[in-house]
């Protein structure tokens, strides 16, 4: 370091001296030139740890494998833990791109999509930034401070960072009844349960089984009555109070069911919203399921919500 500084200082001295000796300049002009040379010789702003040019088209079907390859490559050399979620949070344009693969967003553009797996989300010429240590530590602190907050009667899932609400999404929740589910082998309370816990599992390639009759399926009927393949979008599993209740956080292919008691206990949201929620909720993210009827609306007014589970479990289907 002293040798480097000596060369740096000597270079600065000769640069300033040369400019002073070769032109008749006022003291003010000389000082301005000194400042300009000094700025040119200062180290540049801390650059990204690395830039990765995307070598080929990356589809949703191979997205996770591509990101896993980057994680494996950089986690051994970066001065911080490299994860899929950290990489995507450092490249938020990718979340925006994934959101726009939502079936209904594509439909608004006149595009019918049967299967989201072949959709291209990265192409040659795109660049992914591997963050430097300062940026990575900042992102890791944000991730550590993130909470998924679900208020059941409000039909809302919020992504919180500390006391700040980053995003609010409409959701559907469990029905107000009991029903026999083959998945549990018993009559099950379908209401979405309250509790505090963490995200303990991601299902990046979920299989689809009807919890009522156990039937496997991979085709869904959309709100527009068209049939498509079930989309490849990760599901999240929370653990509440040390127990896995079976109520997952996942997208629905029928957004008309949002803001309703519709599911078998899971929390469902739009496909676009599910992508963003996934990348803001790595394993270990705190999650809160609550049942608060008194809330403050967007206008700042305190309101009382409908008690959606007031006359609970009056209907039992077998």
SS3 (DSSP) at 200: strand
Shortest CA distance to 59 belongs to which of 101, 30, 18?
101
Place of tokens 């608060």: 292
Strands 164-170 and 127-130: unpaired
If one compares 99 and 20, the residue with the highest pLDDT of the two is: 99
The dihedral region occupied by 155, where left means phi > 0, alpha psi between -120 and 50, and beta the remainder, is left
pLDDT one-digit tens code per residue, 50-67: 899 999 999 999 999 999
pLDDT one-digit tens code per residue, 232-284: 999 999 999 999 988 999 999 999 999 999 999 999 999 999 999 999 999 99
The pLDDT value given to residue 298? 85
Number of helices (H), then strands (E), belonging to the chain: the values are 8, 23
Q: Can you tell me the distance from the alpha carbon of 264 to that of 257, in angstroms, rounded to the nearest whole number?
A: 13
DSSP per-residue string spanning 140-186: HHHHHTEEEEEEGGGTEEEEEETTEEEEEEE-BEE-SSEEEETTTTE
Residue percentage of the chain with pLDDT more than 90: 74
Burial class (CB within 10 angstroms; exposed 0-12, middle 13-18, buried 19+) of 287: buried
CA 28-31-34 angle, 5° bins: 155
Question: Domain extents for the chain?
Answer: 2-41, 50-140, 147-317
The CATH H-level superfamily of 147-317 is L,D-transpeptidase catalytic domain-like (2.40.440.10)
The dihedral region occupied by 195, where left means phi > 0, alpha psi between -120 and 50, and beta the remainder, is left
- Per-residue pLDDT, averaged over 305-312, amounts to 85
C-beta of residue 98 within 8 angstroms of C-beta of residue 84? no
pTM to 2 decimal places: 0.84
The pLDDT value given to residue 311? 65
The pLDDT value given to residue 283? 98
Secondary structure of 138-151 as H, E, C letters? HHHHHHHCEEEEEE
Strands (E), 182-260: 186-189, 195-203, 208-209, 216-217, 219-221, 227-229, 235-240, 249-251
The pLDDT value given to residue 49? 84
Asked whether the predicted pLDDT for residue 119 surpasses 90, the reply is yes
Residue percentage of the chain with pLDDT more than 70: 83
């Amino acid at each position: 370091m002293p040798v480097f500084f000596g060369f740096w200082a000597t270079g600065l001295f000769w640069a300033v001296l040369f400019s002073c000796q070769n032109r008749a300049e006022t003291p003010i002009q000389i000082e301005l030139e000194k400042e300009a040379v000094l700025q040119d010789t200062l180290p540049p702003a801390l650059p990204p740890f690395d830039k990765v040019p995307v070598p080929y088209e990356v589809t949703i079907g191979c997205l996770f494998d591509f990101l896993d390859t980057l994680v494996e490559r950089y986690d051994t050399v970066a001065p911080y833990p490299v994860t899929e979620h950290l990489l995507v949070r450092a490249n938020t344009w990718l979340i925006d791109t994934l959101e726009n693969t939502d079936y209904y967003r594509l439909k608004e553009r006149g595009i019918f999509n049967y299967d989201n797996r072949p959709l291209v989300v990265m192409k040659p010429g795109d660049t992914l930034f591997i963050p430097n240590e300062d940026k990575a530590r900042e992102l890791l602190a944000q991730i550590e401070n993130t909470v998924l907050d679900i208020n059941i009667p409000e039909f809302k899932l919020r992504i919180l960072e500390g006391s700040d609400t980053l995003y609010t999404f409409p959701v559907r929740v469990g029905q107000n009844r009991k029903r026999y589910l083959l998945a549990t082998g018993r009559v099950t309370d379908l209401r979405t349960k309250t509790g505090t816990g963490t995200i303990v599992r991601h299902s990046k390639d979920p299989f689809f089984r009807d919890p009522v009759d156990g039937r496997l399926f991979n085709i869904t009927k959309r709100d527009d009555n068209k049939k498509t393949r079930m989309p490849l979008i990760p599901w999240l599993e929370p653990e509440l109070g040390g127990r896995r209740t079976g109520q997952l956080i996942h997208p629905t292919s029928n957004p008309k069911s949002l803001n309703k008691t519709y599911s078998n206990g899971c929390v469902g949201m739009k496909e676009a919203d599910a992508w963003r929620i996934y990348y803001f909720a790595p394993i270990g993210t705190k999650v809160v399921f609550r049942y608060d009827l008194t809330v403050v609306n967007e206008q700042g007014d305190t309101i009382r919500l409908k008690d959606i589970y007031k006359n609970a479990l009056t209907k039992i289907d077998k």
